[in-house]
Amino acid sequence: MNAPIPSSAVERQNLFNPPPLADNWNTFEKKPEPPPDAISVVELFSGVIDRSSTLLGDRYLERGGSMVMVGSSGIGKSSASMDQDIRWALGMESFGIKPSRPLKILTIQAENDRGDLIEMAQGVKKGMKLSPDQLKLLEQNLHYVFEQSRTGSSFLSECVRPLLEKHRPDILRIDPFMAYLGGDITQAKDTAAFLRQRLNPLLTEFRCGCIIVHHTTKTSSRATANTRPDDFMYIGAGSADIVNWARAVLVIESSEERGKYRFHAAKRGGRIGWTENYQRTQQKWFQHSKGSLCWEECKADEIPEGKSAHRTKHKAEDVLKLIPEDGTIGKDELIDKANKAGVPFRGGRLYIKELIKKGSVIEENIPRKGARAELVLKRAPRIKSGYINIPKRDELVNDPALFSQGQNNENNP
């Protein structure tokens, strides 16, 4: 059946010159809703954070929140996405990011057909050696949709909404953003219409987080040797409003060494959960696993030379040097002293724990009247060849007390 022919000049004009994307959203909007309620700052003072809304990291991604993962074409965003999807659906860590529990994930993507998805899925399965129980959990928790025709409002209303109603995921992944926007990615009015006016209400209604996979610009000749992680925040193509909308931004940067990539937690990176040498970090190195499509973290000796996230690395011995040769030092005093020497507070505590476990440091409780006992630290007795040092025989002859002790030590090595 043929479509009706436009009868008026206005209809013909609208047919060949449709109104801007942002104007079209109005036809899909619900009736006006009342403004949100205001909250007193006093109420915030005694408020309790809802930890049950956390999906990834330390509130790195929450229900109703959003994350953008950015990388250039061919860098491996799709395989990285599938690695994340599978591991997070199993409740496992992926790229150093821990899920709060096994998550239900729905991925809607346009760049990989069924054959591509099969190839990636089988590659990850081979690398992870999944058990029958894990396969059963994945069957419940992880689903993929191939959609390559609908964009803009029709994509969100005809595709996303029905799928969210059916699957009720914890995380919705949209891959890639430019395939579904249906507007000018450089215009904030178009990106805001898609992300803020239409997608945000869906995330709130269905209580899920969203990960959007996004491309960089066509070319990138910027020098990155001395850049900070947050310098990569706006490296994605299009309007800055995309990054402003997102709660978290994760950037994948290629390197001169094939198969090795530096990941930057460019926005909200302090909550992603990454550490290096007991220090928080916002960048890590990952590489493709040999023989599979899985990813794995680069070991220290596999990181390209001069590219470590922290140029100054501390060791437990750096904290040990701050403990007096004789006598004791308060634990809190030692942590403060180490911090002034450049060791983060958390790193200082972990190094002290490591030294106690190794037997290099002894922890003691000193009773205090009317107060809790004070925790103090002192060096353990020095060891040589696995034995406590024993005074020499000529020293024992000159000291009867040591002589008696020396005989006991020799009889009981």
* Model pLDDT for residues 129-141, shown as the tens digit of each residue: 899 999 999 999 9
- Quick: pLDDT tens for 162-175: 999 999 999 999 99
| Same domain for 211 and 78 | yes
- Quick: pLDDT tens for 224-245: 555 666 778 888 899 999 999 9
Residue 345 in any domain: the answer is: yes
| Same domain for 218 and 353 | no
Q: Per mean pLDDT, which range of 132-146, 210-224, 270-284 is the poorest? A: 210-224
Tell me phi and psi for residue 85, to 5 degrees.
Answer: -55, -50
| Same domain for 297 and 321 | no
**Amino acid identity of 40?**
S
Domain that holds residue 375: 316-380
Please list the alpha-helical segments (H only) found in 7-102: 9-16, 21-24, 41-45, 77-89
Residue 133 in any domain: the answer is: yes
Residue 274 has pLDDT above 70, yes or no: yes
- Which CATH number belongs to the domain containing residue 57 in this structure? 3.40.50.300
Residue 339 in any domain: the answer is: yes
Higher pLDDT, 393 or 296: 296
Tell me if the pTM is above 0.75.
Answer: no
| Same domain for 123 and 63 | yes
Nearest of 32, 14, 19, 65 to residue 189 by alpha carbon: 19
Asked whether the beta carbons of 80 and 95 are under 8 A apart, the reply is yes
Mean pLDDT of the region 111-118: 87
- Quick: pLDDT tens for 240-273: 999 999 999 999 998 878 888 999 999 999 999 9
pLDDT on residue 29: 53
Residue 325 in any domain: the answer is: yes
| Same domain for 273 and 345 | no
Residue 15 confidence class, pLDDT cut points 50, 70, 90: very low
Last residue of a domain, one of 276, 302, 328: 302
**Amino acid identity of 222?**
R
| Same domain for 246 and 207 | yes
| Same domain for 235 and 369 | no
Asked whether the beta carbons of 284 and 276 are under 8 A apart, the reply is yes
Cis peptide before 6 (omega within 30 of 0): no
How far apart CA 291 and CA 78 sit, in angstroms, is 17
User: Among residues of the chain, what percentage have pLDDT more than 70?
Assistant: 79
- Quick: pLDDT tens for 37-62: 999 999 999 999 999 999 999 999 99
Last residue of a domain, one of 302, 334, 351: 302
| Same domain for 156 and 206 | yes
| Same domain for 225 and 185 | yes
Residue 257 in any domain: the answer is: yes
pLDDT on residue 402: 46
How far apart CA 292 and CA 407 sit, in angstroms, is 63
Mean pLDDT of the region 295-323: 75
Number of domains the chain contains? 2
How remote is the C-alpha of 226 from its chain's centroid? 22
| Same domain for 354 and 294 | no
Strands 260-267 and 248-254: antiparallel
Angle of helix 132-141 versus helix 77-89 axis, rounded to 10: 110
- Which CATH number belongs to the domain containing residue 322 in this structure? 1.10.10
How high does pLDDT run on average in the chain?
Answer: 82
Residue 310 in any domain: the answer is: no
How far apart CA 170 and CA 61 sit, in angstroms, is 11
Residue 10 has pLDDT above 70, yes or no: no
Residue 187 confidence class, pLDDT cut points 50, 70, 90: very high
| Same domain for 194 and 146 | yes
Last residue of a domain, one of 245, 272, 302: 302
How many other C-beta atoms are found inside a 10 Å radius of the C-beta of residue 356? Answer: 14
Q: Per mean pLDDT, which range of 62-71, 113-122, 174-183 is the poorest? A: 113-122
**Amino acid identity of 32?**
P
Residue 42 in any domain: the answer is: no
Residue 244 in any domain: the answer is: yes
pLDDT on residue 87: 95
pLDDT on residue 227: 61
| Same domain for 172 and 207 | yes
